[in-house]
Amino acid sequence: MKRTKIGELLADERRGVQMKVAGWVRTRRDSKGGFSFVEINDGSCLANLQVIAPAALPNYEAEILKLHPGASVAVEGTLEASLGGGQAVEVKAQKVKVLGFSPPVEYPLGKQKINFDRLRELPHLRARTNSFGAVARVRNTLAQGVHQFFHDRGFLYVHTPIITSSDCEGAGEMFQVTTLDPEAPPRSKDGRVDYTQDFFGRRASLTVSGQLEGEAYACALGDIYTFGPTFRAENSNTRRHLSEFWMIEPEMAFADLNEDAELAEDFLRHLFKVVLEQCGEDLRFFDQRIQPGLLARLERLAEAPFGRVTYTEAVQSLEASGQTFEFAPFWGMDMQSEHERYLAEEVFKGPVVVTDYPEAIKAFYMRRNADGKTVAAMDVLLPEVGEIIGGSQREERLEVLEAAMRKGGMNLEEYGPYLDLRRYGSVPHAGFGLGFERLVQFCTGMRNIRDVIPYPRAPRMC
């Protein structure tokens, strides 16, 4: 018989039908009435299935009474209305096959409470807990929602490289990729490591962004997006930074900053709706156990328009707030998380798009504004997580871009292909990057970003 997933079984309205289910034991209780209750979970939904195992089963004493949390079983039986409270249906077993036992003393996810810090040391087992199972399902739904959104709007999914020899931001913080012997790398006459002998014949790293390649494809195909892993070797031990995270980067030809901001807004609202529609059970769990108020907030944000403010206005309102910040706000500062959150949580009470940042704190490729001081950049800020999206209209004017790069001390020769896009049929274009884990964090209310990716990579954590 083919196995039915528990999520599907619980929604089945038939009674008395034969079913086969399989999963991991969460609890077992033995009743004096000659049977045991075995709760199993198979990951298809948050809820467990209650299995009634009668003492008359041939392996009752030898095996069923030895079932402990973590053991795996396959059960055949009939789907019945449940007499006990707590669940509508249960399966009355005719056969319980033990697939794998679980020694009670060793299994770390037994009955005792276990906190998220300890679970981070058990990434191979934590998906079996309610919280991490729910995170995995929400993460999956959001990923599908991302593809759906762009597919419906005619954006092409482009796979940009993970190994790269260019640094998108024009700054360090990249993980190096090399096959040279770290103990004895070949050296050129001046004593420096000779990367011409390295695997790629030059220095290579893991990408920090697919944007530069994404721009090339947008400037040929119109609207594109990337969705892939990105790597940052920055030593930020915060609850919103990972060393390896997934980024979604749409790029649109023939679009300006305003259209970019509209896309970001539609995109986020779409994802809030999708997760509300498809992950109700998991979101209720997060709302009850992780972050009270989460559901109501998502419902509100799925409909509400985002706030819009320029950087200059935002700094003015921070200065005028009377609030004491750890870093006192001033025009020209790079906004800190505390400022971002204050704007989203207190001033706008919801998502806000901040535009037109000072040129000095933003990347070289952002389009210079007419005021000579700011660039056509935008960040989308959310309550709780702060910055979730960073984007801009790109500088499409060749001379202006070259001047900005020279001013930043960049070597123009390394950016030949990027400059070519401005040399041959340059068009206005814009895009943004959304950190996928920050989105999952926001939708689940999980406090630490390390708990919304299956195997977190962070400083000293791999």
DSSP, res 447: S
Q: Which residue has the tokens 């992950």?
A: 279
The option from Mn ion, ligand ATP, none interacting with 242 (CB < 5 to 8 A, set by class) reads ligand ATP
Closest CB to Mn ion among residues 269, 438: 438
Separation between Cα atoms, residue 298 and residue 177, nearest integer Å: 40
Token pair of 142, please?
A: 């959001």
Shortest CB 405 distance to ligand ATP, Å: 18
The option from Mn ion, ligand ATP, none interacting with 389 (CB < 5 to 8 A, set by class) reads ligand ATP
Shortest CB 139 distance to ligand ATP, Å: 14
Separation between Cα atoms, residue 73 and residue 39, nearest integer Å: 11
Q: Which residue has the tokens 């299995």?
A: 51
Shortest CB 392 distance to ligand ATP, Å: 9
Shortest CB 439 distance to Mn ion, Å: 14
Shortest CB 449 distance to ligand ATP, Å: 6
Q: Which residue has the tokens 């045991």?
A: 36
Shortest CB 247 distance to ligand ATP, Å: 5
DSSP result, 310-370: EHHHHHHHHHTT-PPPSS---TTPPPPHHHHHHIIIIISSS-EEEEEEEGGGS-TTBPBPT
Closest CB to Mn ion among residues 90, 387: 387
Stretch that binds Mn ion, among 222-230, 284-292, 333-341, 385-393 (CB under 5 A): 385-393
Shortest CB 362 distance to Mn ion, Å: 8
Closest CB to Mn ion among residues 67, 315: 315
CB of 247 closer than 8 Å to CB of 434: yes
The option from ligand ATP, Mn ion, none interacting with 438 (CB < 5 to 8 A, set by class) reads ligand ATP
What are the φ/ψ torsions at residue 87 (nearest 5 degrees)? -150, 150
**Residue 390 binds to Mn ion (criterion: CB under 5 A):** yes
The option from Mn ion, ligand ATP, none interacting with 437 (CB < 5 to 8 A, set by class) reads ligand ATP
Closest CB to ligand ATP among residues 45, 257: 257
Shortest CB 241 distance to ligand ATP, Å: 4
Closest CB to ligand ATP among residues 383, 435: 435
The option from ligand ATP, Mn ion, none interacting with 388 (CB < 5 to 8 A, set by class) reads ligand ATP
Which stretches of the chain bind ligand ATP, using CB under 6 A?
Answer: 232, 241-242, 245, 247, 387-390, 433-435, 437-438
Separation between Cα atoms, residue 97 and residue 115, nearest integer Å: 32
Closest CB to ligand ATP among residues 73, 242: 242
CB of 434 closer than 8 Å to CB of 382: no
52 contact partners, CB below 8 Å, separation of at least 6: 35, 36, 37, 77, 90, 91, 92, 93
Q: Which residue has the tokens 């009474």?
A: 65
Give the angle subtended at the CA of 325 by the CAs of 322 and 329, to the nearest 5°.
Answer: 80
CB of 256 closer than 8 Å to CB of 434: no
The option from ligand ATP, Mn ion, none interacting with 329 (CB < 5 to 8 A, set by class) reads none
Closest CB to Mn ion among residues 279, 318: 318
Shortest CB 175 distance to Mn ion, Å: 19
Torsion, Cα 264 266 270 271, to 10 degrees, reads 10
Stretch that binds Mn ion, among 76-84, 95-103, 137-145, 390-398 (CB under 5 A): 390-398
Closest CB to ligand ATP among residues 242, 275: 242
Separation between Cα atoms, residue 248 and residue 235, nearest integer Å: 22
Closest CB to ligand ATP among residues 294, 377: 377
β 352-358/307-310 pair status: parallel
Stretch that binds Mn ion, among 17-25, 206-214, 277-285, 386-394 (CB under 5 A): 386-394
What are the φ/ψ torsions at residue 138 (nearest 5 degrees)? -65, -40
Which positions lie near Mn ion, rule CB under 5 A? 390
